[in-house]
Amino acid sequence: MHKNNHLGCKCVLLMGMVVALAAMPLHAQPVQAVQYYPRKPIRLVVGFPAGGVADASARPIATHMGKSLGVTLVVENRGGAAGSVAGQIAAQAPADGYTLLWSSPGALTINRILEKNLPYNADTAFTPIGRAFTFCNALIVRQDSAVTSVAQFIALAKEKEKEKGKAGQLQYGTQGIGSAGHLSAQMLQNMAGVALSVVPYKGGTDILTAIIGGEIPAAFLSSTSAGTMRNRVRILAVTSLNRDPSLPDVPSMHEAGVKNYDASFWFGLLAPTGTPAPIVARLNSVLREALEDAEVARGARAQGLNPAPSTPTEFAERIKSDYERWRKIIAATGGT
């Protein structure tokens, strides 16, 4: 009897040791994850082709972060479906910190509204690391246009509606449904009570050509592209709540009379859900360092991008609030 009790105690003790040993790696994992991270190159998936503003904003950040981390951040351009192709790649990657996503609102908010069957759940597929930049669009007309203000632009749209007895008579150009320019127009329609008709183009160069050639009367274009052509176009306003640093003499829509209008956008860094918190914190810290670098900031501002670092929580809240805001606006305007 005594022998059996002794064996039983040994069994209990052994089982306790096994449980303790099994639990140790779980507790040690977060510490080890950041202690030995990174040990190989990191893939940074960018949802747009090389040469565009998304790519141009990602590369200096990747270079600076790579130097801080001691490894290379390899930029992988996977354009398509307004960022959703890249989103799917990142969502399906291992949550180990070696695949990151450079995204704009499209893949995380807008596509959720416009597309019924996204190949990932934008609510749960990603862990926000931090916002990097904010940017805006500009409402432009031809240099010799009779329209010289946002108020006149809105009045012209209403006048054309009255003449034709039908809404949406004033056209504008933008880079496709769901683009930043399209969303900027959606917000203006919603807040000013007018209807516009969208004419999609492949890129900013095509839009500028159409404006200058008189093919369309107006357009929403990136503030940088608009600024480079000020001798050929008139900029009525920028779409951010406050003036854009790259166009300090141009009023915001809010200043121009559309009160509380704010169609500003962002680029930010995310990881697959499940990425260890210490790795997310490390990446956020290194991202902030990159955004504080004077050379990186100067290059970004030259492209109309404003450094806007955030915590992971702040970035998550921005993504959530953007989704709610654009969902209501798109629903109110019918998405066109």
Do residues 157 and 195 lie in contact, with contact meaning Cβ atoms separated by under 8 Å? yes
pLDDT band at 178 (very low <50, low <70, confident <90, very high): confident
Is residue 333 pLDDT above 70, yes or no? yes
257-303-90-316 Cα dihedral, nearest 10 degrees: -40
- Which domains does the chain show, CATH number per domain? 42-135+264-333 (3.40.190.150), 136-238 (3.40.190.10)
Work out the angle at residue 52's Cα, subtended by the Cα atoms of residues 117 and 201, and round it to the nearest 5 degrees: 65
Is residue 336 pLDDT above 90, yes or no? no
pLDDT of residue 18: 42
pLDDT band at 12 (very low <50, low <70, confident <90, very high): very low
Lowest-confidence pick of 3-7, 246-250, 259-263, 289-293:
3-7
User: In sequence order, which residues have a C-beta less than 8 Å from that of residue 19 and are 6 or more positions away?
Assistant: none
Residue at 224: amino acid letter: T
pLDDT band at 211 (very low <50, low <70, confident <90, very high): very high
- CA-CA distance, 85 to 76, in Å (whole number)? 12
pLDDT of residue 168: 86
Tens digits of residue pLDDT in 73-102: 999 999 888 889 999 999 999 999 999 999
> Rounded mean pLDDT of 237-248?
94
Is residue 25 pLDDT above 70, yes or no? no
* Share of residues in the chain with pLDDT > 70 (%): 89
pLDDT of residue 33: 56
Which of the pair, 261 or 16, is modelled with greater confidence? 261
Lowest-confidence pick of 18-32, 65-79, 320-334:
18-32
pLDDT of residue 31: 57
CB atoms within 10 A of CB 212: 13
> Rounded mean pLDDT of 306-320?
97
pLDDT of residue 51: 82
Residue at 96: amino acid letter: D
**Both structure tokens of 228:** 């480079």
pLDDT of residue 52: 82
DSSP element (H, E) containing 298: helix 294-301
pLDDT of residue 23: 47
> Rounded mean pLDDT of 159-188?
89
Give the pairing type, strands 99-103 and 170-174.
Answer: unpaired
The DSSP letter of residue 121 is -
Which of the pair, 81 or 196, is modelled with greater confidence? 196
